[in-house]
Amino acid sequence: MSSKPNSSGIPAKRQRRSASEPREFHDQEQQRPMLAELYRKAKASLRHQKQHQRSKAVAPPTAADPRRLLHELEVHQIELELQNAELRQARDELETALENYTDLYDFAPAGYFTLTSAGIIRQVNLTGAQLVGLERSRLVGRAFGQLVSAAQRPDFNSFFKQVLAGEDKLSLDLELPNKAEPLQIVRVRAKRSPTGLDCRVVLVDITGLKREEDKVRVSEIRYRRLFETAHDGVILLDPATRKITDANPFMTKLLGYTHGQFVGKELFEIGLLKDETASREMFEKLKRNHEVRYEDLPLETETGRHQEVEVVANLYSESRHAVIQCNIRDITQRKLAEHALRASEERYRILFELGPVAVYSCDAAGMIQNFNARAAELWGRRPVLGETNARYCGSFKLFRPDGSAMRPADCPMAQVLKGKISEARDQEVIIERSDASRLSCVVNIRPLKNQHGKVTGAINCFYDITERKAVEEAQRRLEVLAASNQKLAAEIARRQVVEASLKQSQQQQTQLLAESRFMQEQLRHLSRQVLQAQEDERKRISRELHDVIAQTLTGINLRLATLKKGAGLNPKNFDRDIERTQKLVENSVHIVHEFARELRPAVLDDLGLIPALHAFLKNFTTQTGVRTHLTAFAGLEALDAARRTILYRVAQEALTNVSRHAQASRVEVTIQKLAAGICMKINDNGKSFSVERLLQAKGSQRLGLLGMRERLEIVGGRFAIESAPSLGTTVTAEIPFNQP
């Protein structure tokens, strides 16, 4: 059924057609000759009708003329309708054919391009656009050479010139860079149009084909390399003729024949089989089993040299053709190695049986596999092959060199087999045989392992050192006697030296006694100084209590008496007198607190060392104007009360010395943790002094330093003091964590 035209006179099917279709395929291009022919016929018919009407115009009109004219018009209308129907049918057929052609053109498996003589793309189908990875609208008007890789662009230009020159059956393989796909390889075929103004180009994607060809080529190269470089001889035969078709270079090296001498010969002709009958039997066996193996075949080269080879023949299909491949391996060296191995084993067997060292071997389970006569002689009896090592060792007693008994499960062989030790090297054991005789033996055990490193057994080589031990014992006794003589001589000489030393020691003791008396006198003097210092301190405290507390309390008493007398006389000043009396009481309490804090601050027991030091340093700064700074380790409070008190007293004494002698403006107190204790450093920027001279001075000048040192030494601590010009003085106190 034909399509109905719309208001514009264009069929709906034509309106749905894509604007990107080739223009020469539109309806106007297809129907133009037919419309021209119909127009020519209609014009001729109209001209003929006018001439007929003019010829009849002279005749008088009759009543039948209008009817005849109407009839002719109706006939002409019918003819036009028939012609119009034929035209619509022809148009529909053309549209259907055009759609089919367009589908075939766009969705063809190959890419179609129409190029101008300048190489510009005029038309392209969908497959071609997909091959180059660009939209069709962007390809039209673009030079085709720009789509080709730069390296192959000259080849394409030459190819295109040949096509425009009219050469037929031309093709070219090109690489097309595609942004959406990997590099593609296409085969290009082109043909010039009859007019010579453009050409048709067909692109077929052969990327997969090229990859398969590359794989086949690489496979062939690998096979050829293996064939050419194999260290085994390889021969290819035709099963139908039993003739050699190819042989690798190793066969030439093996037998001395050239490649041409191999080709066309049978196996028995090159000395591989003894005769034609043997060759025929091998081929029959190959047909049945597709494989034949000969472990040992004699082979004679062209020069007459004899050698032994191993042959493996296989029958397989290659491209639907049967092929026989024979792999020939020269085993001459292997045979020589086997003969040498057998000779070596024989020598080992002789050495094993006649050697002076006892040898026996066990498997991984501890079963005795082999032993020599020397082993049975040392053991005192012959073991039974297959008997376990533990059971056999249980038939006699084993001891360590120190005399302690050894269980069979703890013997060196058992430990090596169980993997407890990697090997036993020069390990000494004592064997007590059934006749109660003892032998000292040195054991050397090595494990036997397979290619995977798993222990499959062990070998024990041991020898008797009883006589050597006896000789060594005698030698050791002689050495002991000689050493004793030397010791006696040395003792005599030493006693002579001691006698001389005793005389000298008596003199030293006399001197030491005098020094001891002098030190005792110093100690008494120091004790008197300590007692005097304590007495002075008590006197100071008593004086302070008398001068300050007693006077304050007397003032309070006088004021209370005054208040009692004047309470009724002057009531206005009563409150003021009460307030003054309260201030005197507060001052007394403050003074008592100061005395108590100097004797022992309560904050040290209540809050800890760090708050006590903070309070002391703050009060020190207030009293002296010397700036202070404290850096303390947080775990300091874990120390016991005695150690904290010692650190506090050391800091108190050190700062007292700073205020009295240093003339410093700043003091740094640092407490840090050591590996085994606590270290406190007190550093000032005041004037320095000679530490050695001060420690050797007499009197009360060094009592503070001695007191700090004595306090630290009570708990096993260490005291040090350093003083240098421009560096000030540093007091160091270290206390261990644990009680010494």
**Domain layout of the chain by residue ranges:** 12-105, 107-211, 230-336, 355-464, 476-599, 603-736
Structure tokens at 585: 């009481």
Cross-strand bridge partners of residue 113: 124, 201
CATH homologous superfamily for 355-464? PAS domain (3.30.450.20)
- How many CB atoms are closer than 10 A to CB 128? 26
Q: Biggest alpha carbon distance in the chain?
A: 195
Vertex 629: Cα angle to 623 and 631 (nearest 5): 140
Using an 8 Å Cβ cutoff, are 90 and 11 in contact? Answer: no
Helix (H, G, I), strand (E, B) or coil at 150: coil
| CB-CB contact of 396 with 433 (8 Å) | yes
pLDDT for residue 671: 92
Sign of the alpha-carbon dihedral angle for 50, 56, 61, 62: negative
> 288: which 2 tokens?
């049945």
**Number of other CB atoms surrounding residue 160 within 10 Å:** 22
For 294, counting Cβ atoms within 10 Å of its Cβ (0-12 exposed, 13-18 middle, 19+ buried), the class is middle
Strands laid side by side in the 198-205 sheet: 121-124, 111-116, 198-205, 184-192, 170-176
User: Tens of pLDDT along 551-580?
Assistant: 677 777 677 777 666 655 566 666 676 777
Length of the chain: 740
CA distance 492 to 485: 11
pLDDT for res 666: 93
Domain 603-736, CATH: 3.30.565.10
Separation CA 380–CA 638 (nearest Å): 72
Segment 452-487, tens digit of pLDDT = 888 889 998 888 888 888 888 889 899 999 888 888
Report the alpha-carbon distance of residue 375 to residue 353 in Å, rounded.
10
Beta pairing, strands 666-673 & 627-631: parallel
- DSSP assignment, residue 25? G
Instruction: Please tell me whether residue 469 adopts helix, strand or coil conformation.
Output: helix
Nearest Cα neighbor of 642 from 631, 634, 633, 650 is 650
Q: Quote the CA–CA distance of 341 and 426 in Å, as a whole number.
A: 29
φ and ψ of 679, to 5 deg: -120, 125
Number of other CB atoms surrounding residue 206 within 10 Å = 16
The percent of the chain in helix, strand and coil, each rounded to the nearest 5, is 55, 20, 25
Q: Tens digit of pLDDT for each residue in 670-728?
A: 999 888 889 999 999 988 887 777 766 655 455 677 778 888 888 888 999 898 888 88
Cα separation of the two ends of the chain: 121
Measure the CA angle with vertex 419, ends 413 and 422; round to 5°.
80
682 Cβ neighbours under 8 A, 6+ residues apart: 650, 651, 654, 655, 658, 667, 668, 669, 730, 731
* Cβ partners under 8 Å of residue 293, min gap 6: 310, 311, 312, 313
CATH number of 107-211: 3.30.450.20
Cα 735 to the center of its chain, rounded Å: 48
**CA gap 55, 31 in Å, rounded:** 36
Same fold yes or no, 230-336 and 603-736: no
- Alpha carbon 718 to its chain centroid, in Å, reads 51
Q: Where are the alpha helices (DSSP H) in 320-410?
A: 332-354, 373-379, 389-393
pLDDT score for 244: 87
Tokens of 605: 């027991």
- Taking the C-alpha atoms of residue 647 and residue 681, their distance in angstroms, rounded to an integer, is 10
Nearest to 114 by CA among 232, 227, 197: 197
Sheet holding 718-724, edge to edge: 627-631, 666-673, 677-684, 728-736, 718-724
**Res 670: pLDDT:** 93
Distance CA 136, CA 112 (A): 12
Cβ contact 651:615 at 8 Å: no
The pLDDT score that the predictor gives to residue 683 is: 93
According to DSSP, the residues that pair with 441 across neighbouring strands are 429, 464
Q: What is the pLDDT of residues 251-281, one digit of tens each?
A: 887 777 788 888 888 877 777 776 778 778 8
- Are 301 and 311 in contact by the 8 Å Cβ rule? The answer is no
d(CA 248, CA 245): 11
Determine if residue 169 is left, alpha or beta; phi over 0 gives left, psi from -120 to 50 gives alpha, anything else beta: left
Query: Which is the CATH superfamily of the domain at 230-336?
Result: PAS domain (3.30.450.20)
Helix, strand or coil for residue 327? strand
User: Using N-to-C axis directions, what is the helix angle for 574-599 and 551-566, rounded to 10°?
Assistant: 160
Contact between 417 and 384 under an 8 Å Cβ cutoff? The reply is no
Q: Which two tokens stand for residue 330?
A: 């020269």
Nearest Cα to Cα of residue 587 among 542, 556, 632:
556
β-pairing, 233-237 with 170-176? unpaired
How would DSSP label each residue in 198-246? EEEEEEEE-HHHHHHHHHHHHHHHHHHHHHHH-SSEEEEE-TTT--EEE
Please state, in angstroms and rounded to a whole number, the distance separating the CA atoms of residues 524 and 710: 16
Residues of the chain with pLDDT under 50: 1-31, 700, 740
